Amino acid sequence: MELSPEDALRINVLLAGQLEAVRIDESSMTVHALSGKGEARIRLNPNCRDETYLRTVREALSSHVLGSPGGYPVYLKRWTRMGHARDEILESLLLLGEPEAVVAVVNANGLTDEIARRAWWTVQSAENARCMLRQQPVVQGAMGPVLAEFLVEFLPFEEEARNMIESVRLVLQSELTDAEIRRQLWERGRSRNAYYVGFLQALPDALPDPVASHPDCKLASEKLSHLLDAGDPYAVQLCRLLGTQGQTFLETVRRVLKKPSNQDVVVSLLHAISAYFSTIHPAGARDNDINGILGTAGKMVAEQGGDERKHGGIRHLVALVPEYSGKVEAMLAMSMIDEPVVNPVFSRTDAVGSVMRKKLKPVSDPILGLIDILTT
């Protein structure tokens, strides 16, 4: 098929200019073009079925921009989402009028704030906004607050828990949102605790509504002062947990773990726990059996078990504060908890809600028990 003479002329004139981006409104059969001078539009006059004519328009754009008359390979959806688009063609991809090409751009590792501005003009969607906010040049640029505002406004309409968590995590970066917005998001977590997981991932040491520190926090800090000054990871983590923000982190984990809505919330929560305890995670100690994890932690603390070279720092800590040996053991067990611990459950069921929570109790109850040890 060929473009109608009128459309062919107008599109060629349009492409002769210094364009920044092109989008096609399929419902109104209109081509929109963005340039440094503003926005231009062309109302198409199809001479065949709309779907066929739009494909012809995109082929014409591709032929001019990329020298490839076949158009953008929209069937390579997985490739476009892996960030493999070459940096030197990102600007050209935005001139194809193809939404899938825009997806390739927003996922590209070489995305800049200026290219993000053009991509956002082309296709505005929550998924594209999330992709762009994973790039620090965009977060630090002018587009960061724009995309964050969009995600905040769109959050009430999100249906997937994983998207809620990721959106909250991303908008809490840097100074993209003010204190009032953060407060509102935290309050919404009362009814959608997936929001809390986003906070745990983004602000583990700056959560809203902090609870009181552990009664032993000051005493433990005094007894371990020389280890803290030396940067001992076990002493630092123990005092971190006993402090106000550590107790708030644990309380928030408890709140989510008691009533997760689906498997995505559980897995993301476990990732947040793993990241929080990453500084003391024993190398190679990851396990998919919660009872095995508890046993390993006990051996690491006990005098007669384990490798002195690997666990000497732990035993030195316990020797200084033997009254906290239970807390140290719980802390070590928490450091070994991550997604593998729920694989035996989730590999056999796709349940959600109360049914999922019931099946998860052999894993969640011991974790809640560890939190009880660290908070009482």
What pTM, to 2 d.p., does this model score? 0.89
Cα of 73 vs its chain's centroid, Å: 28
40-44, 73-77, 164-168: segment of lowest average pLDDT: 73-77
Statement: residue 308 has pLDDT above 70:
no
CB 293, CB 338: distance < 8 Å = no
Section 317-338 average pLDDT: 94
Question: Which pair of tokens denotes residue 236?
Answer: 């630092």
pLDDT of 309 strictly over 80: no
* Residue 23: strand, helix, or coil: strand
In a 3-state reduction of DSSP, which class is residue 292? helix
Asked if residue 74 has pLDDT above 60, the reply is: no
Closest to 297 in 3D by CA, of 257, 328, 263? 328
C-beta contacts of 114-121 below 8 A and 24+ residues apart: 115/90, 115/91, 116/141, 116/143, 116/147, 117/142, 117/143, 118/20, 118/21, 118/34, 118/91, 118/94, 119/21, 119/94, 120/146, 120/147, 121/20, 121/21, 121/23, 121/34
Please list the alpha-helical segments (H only) found in 66-112.
77-80, 90-93, 99-106
Domain ranges of the chain: 5-141, 204-375
Token duo for residue 306 = 């384990």
Predicted confidence band of residue 75 (pLDDT cuts 50, 70, 90): very low
Average pLDDT over residues 15-44: 94
